A and B are shown apart, each in its own frame.
Chain A
Amino acid sequence: MNEPKTPAASVLYRRSLRKRYLFVGIALLLTVLLLGLGITTGAMNLSLPEVWNALFHRSGSPGEHIVLNLRLPRLLAAVASGGALALAGAVMQIVLRNPLGSPFTLGISNAAAFGAALAYLLLGNPALKPAGPDTWLGLQNALVTVSAFVWAALGSLFVIFVSRKKGATPENMILTGIIVNTFFMALTSVLQFLADDVQLGSIVFWTFGDLSKSTWNTLLLQALVIVPVFLYFLKHNLRFNALDAGDQVAGSLGINVHRFRMHCILLTSLLTASIVAFYGIIAFVGLIIPHIIRILIGNDARFLVPASLVLGTMFMLLCDMLSRSLFSPLVIPVGIVTSILGAPLFVLLLIKGNKR
């Protein structure tokens, strides 16, 4: 009689890959469902055919205005911000070799926020200008993003500088994050102190993290950032696994570790800035989503990176729905919802992590 043969290791591995593909597939499906739900429900409920007509057969109905100018930009803003922040968090955690890496915990969100506030103060608030085809508005938006990006990059470079001087231990990184956070919050406070009432209002409101500020131009700009950065990460996601094994291992596998890490930090800063500059600070998404994925399907970056994008989107769509429905008709800024949901989730993760 033949003994039952153990399958080859690669067979077992490929079976585990199927589960991961399935996970990403289901998450994508749920995201599409949430998008459908988000676009049909609200103060005025619309049927799917009504949404379809609004999208593809322009008739000037009130439904069309709601779908094209209110709901769709907002939902796509949730997609962009959730996806970009979770992606940035996943990549930061890997390249900084730190489970607590995220645009927010390392202070990069606040640095970007300061950069954006500075630009708003120097340029005037584009949100207050009349809407419409206005090249100056587009230029201002671009300058705000550039300023947010530059400061986000400066914040990241400071984190890298300290980690190179003192070693990138989790403790050092988080302490550095606290320093960067506190410093830029203080600088933003100075700007708030100097701002006039209108500017102050817009700076404070904007730090809340609110998706209703999204426009088609903003979304286009974000797509131009997120899509290429995501493709870059996807192209190099095998390298992320090597980085987790340590710098020396990654180097011996043919990776220029220093250069790759720098590229990743700059690109995650760009992702963060492209969101924070327009919607304000949205905390915890970048920190928590990658960890949830690690618990569910493991650490393989080939899945972690795309799954972060998808799950980040899903989480943000859920938070957006909550922000609109919890105190309806009052809409709470989504940044508040992510923090309120994120904090207890994070505590759970910490406890679970310590048990291991």
Chain B
Amino acid sequence: MIQITVKDVAYAYGRKQVLRGISHVFEPGTFTAIMGKNGSGKTTLLHCINKMAAGFSGEIHLGASDVRRLTLEELAQVTAFVPQGQDAVFGSSVFETVLLGRLPFMTWAPSETDYQIVDEVLAALQLQHFSTTDIRHISGGERQKVFIARAIAQKTPVILLDEPVTYLDIKHQLEIMTLLQELAQRGYNIVMVVHDLNLALTFCSRFLFLKNGNVVYGGDQSQINEALVESVFEVGASTMRDATGRRLFSFEVKD
């Protein structure tokens, strides 16, 4: 159970200021959607949390630990990361890919525990039937599940994901969102960058809206209204209810 505390974080790529003083607390047991237009700083924020964007100003704490003071090895035992778009050059089997998640805990070779964890994760995600298949030869949706399986096998309390469902068909989107929702309910701290607002509204419990590197909104979905959505995404937005009474948005291009 680890809380992520982001305090006054700013970051620039060269002269381009991407984050301008972000503050937010990601609670354990929540499934947070980071949303905003392209270039609003969503991915950069994830990269600051897992030290990929070195040299940010402000503070980020994972539990009581200052991220800056953690080595990459220590960090890998607290946070797992599923980046956007991953292409293996040479490829490996599904089993080997998930086994990589145990790397932060290995010295020379995988232990019995490592094998056991990978078996459990593969079975839980129903991936065990093609454990020997090369990940380059399975569908995009299955592959994304394998990458998430690798992150789960890392057994970290925090999982960060950068657009894990963007290129997937509806069935795989729902499968992966359900899986992440269940993980959050079990106490994991799940933080995900996502573009599909309606999908996020269906599955996520917290929302962080960014605009030009600033936080526009952070909280649950009760306060998300048309005016906020129109301002964050710069589109026309109107709400509607689906058959189950859930609130969804429809969008139109704004002049």
**A242 proximity list for chain B (CB < 8 A):** 100, 103
Query: Measured between C-beta atoms, what is the minimum distance from B60 to chain A in Å?
Result: 15
- B103 contacts A238, C-beta separation under 8 Å: yes
User: How distant is the Cα of A149 from the Cα of B250 in the complex, in angstroms?
Assistant: 63
**A14 proximity list for chain B (CB < 8 A):** 115
- B89 contacts A238, C-beta separation under 8 Å: no
Q: Does A10 contact B (CB under 8 A)?
A: yes
Q: Does B48 contact A (CB under 8 A)?
A: no
Q: Does A246 contact B (CB under 8 A)?
A: yes
User: How distant is the Cα of A97 from the Cα of B100 in the complex, in angstroms?
Assistant: 17
Known: A10-B115, A249-B81, A252-B79. A244 touches B104 (CB 8 A): no
Q: Does B90 contact A (CB under 8 A)?
A: yes
User: How distant is the Cα of A6 from the Cα of B106 in the complex, in angstroms?
Assistant: 27
**B119 proximity list for chain A (CB < 8 A):** 8-10
- A253 contacts B100, C-beta separation under 8 Å: yes
- B90 contacts A251, C-beta separation under 8 Å: no
Known: A245-B88, A248-B52. A300 touches B96 (CB 8 A): yes
**B76 proximity list for chain A (CB < 8 A):** 252-254
Known: A239-B103, A248-B52, A253-B103. A16 touches B88 (CB 8 A): no
Residues 111-132 of B at the A interface (beta carbon under 8 Å):
115-116, 118-119, 122-123, 128-129, 131-132
Q: Does B169 contact A (CB under 8 A)?
A: no
Query: Measured between C-beta atoms, what is the minimum distance from B119 to chain A in Å?
Result: 5
User: Which of chain B's residues has its CB closest to A9's CB?
Assistant: B131
- B103 contacts A9, C-beta separation under 8 Å: no
Residues 1-56 of A at the B interface (beta carbon under 8 Å):
6, 8-10, 12-14, 16
Query: Measured between C-beta atoms, what is the minimum distance from B81 to chain A in Å?
Result: 4
- B103 contacts A254, C-beta separation under 8 Å: yes
Residues 275-291 of A at the B interface (beta carbon under 8 Å):
none
**A94 proximity list for chain B (CB < 8 A):** 90
Q: Does A99 contact B (CB under 8 A)?
A: yes
**A8 proximity list for chain B (CB < 8 A):** 119, 128
- B81 contacts A99, C-beta separation under 8 Å: no
User: Which of chain A's residues has its CB closest to B156's CB?
Assistant: A252
Q: Mark B99-111, 1 if CB is under 8 A from A, else 0.
A: 1110110101100
- A248 contacts B128, C-beta separation under 8 Å: no
Q: What number of residue pairs across chains A and B have CB atoms under 8 A from each other? A: 108
| Residue with the highest number of chain B CB atoms closer than 10 Å, among A12, A239, A252, A300 | A252
Q: Does B1 contact A (CB under 8 A)?
A: no
**B139 proximity list for chain A (CB < 8 A):** none
Q: Which of B87, B92, B108, B128 meets A298, CB within 8 Å? A: B92
User: How distant is the Cα of A249 from the Cα of B50 in the complex, in angstroms?
Assistant: 11
Known: A99-B89, A299-B90, A300-B92. A10 touches B118 (CB 8 A): yes
- B104 contacts A13, C-beta separation under 8 Å: no
Chain A's interface size range is 20 to 34
Known: A12-B132, A256-B72, A299-B92. A245 touches B50 (CB 8 A): no
Known: A248-B81, A249-B81, A249-B100. A12 touches B131 (CB 8 A): yes
Residues 111-145 of A at the B interface (beta carbon under 8 Å):
none
Q: Does B222 contact A (CB under 8 A)?
A: no
- B95 contacts A13, C-beta separation under 8 Å: yes
User: How distant is the Cα of A93 from the Cα of B88 in the complex, in angstroms?
Assistant: 12
User: Which of chain A's residues has its CB closest to B52's CB?
Assistant: A251
User: How distant is the Cα of A300 from the Cα of B52 in the complex, in angstroms?
Assistant: 26
Q: Does A302 contact B (CB under 8 A)?
A: yes
**A324 proximity list for chain B (CB < 8 A):** none
User: Which of chain B's residues has its CB closest to A234's CB?
Assistant: B108
Q: Does B97 contact A (CB under 8 A)?
A: yes
**B89 proximity list for chain A (CB < 8 A):** 97-99, 244
Q: Does A255 contact B (CB under 8 A)?
A: yes
- B92 contacts A241, C-beta separation under 8 Å: yes
Q: Mark A265-309, 1 if CB is under 8 A from B, else 0.
A: 000000000000000000000000000001000111010000000
Q: Does B187 contact A (CB under 8 A)?
A: no
**B96 proximity list for chain A (CB < 8 A):** 13, 241, 300
Q: Which of B73, B77, B86, B132 meets A249, CB within 8 Å? A: B86
- A254 contacts B52, C-beta separation under 8 Å: no
Given contacts A6-B128, A13-B131, A299-B92, 9 further A-B contacts (CB under 8 A): A6-B129, A16-B93, A99-B89, A249-B83, A251-B50, A253-B154, A254-B73, A254-B76, A302-B109
When A and B form their complex, which 8 residue pairs have the shortest distance between CB atoms, in order from nearest?
A254-B76, A252-B81, A9-B131, A10-B115, A248-B83, A254-B73, A299-B90, A254-B104
Residue positions of A touching B, CB distance < 8 A? 6, 8-10, 12-14, 16, 93-94, 97-99, 235, 238-239, 241-242, 244-246, 248-249, 251-256, 294, 298-300, 302
| 25 CB-based A-B contacts, threshold 8 Å | A8-B119, A12-B95, A12-B131, A13-B95, A13-B131, A97-B89, A238-B103, A238-B106, A241-B92, A244-B89, A244-B90, A245-B92, A246-B87, A248-B83, A251-B51, A251-B72, A253-B100, A253-B103, A253-B154, A254-B71, A254-B73, A298-B93, A299-B91, A300-B92, A302-B109
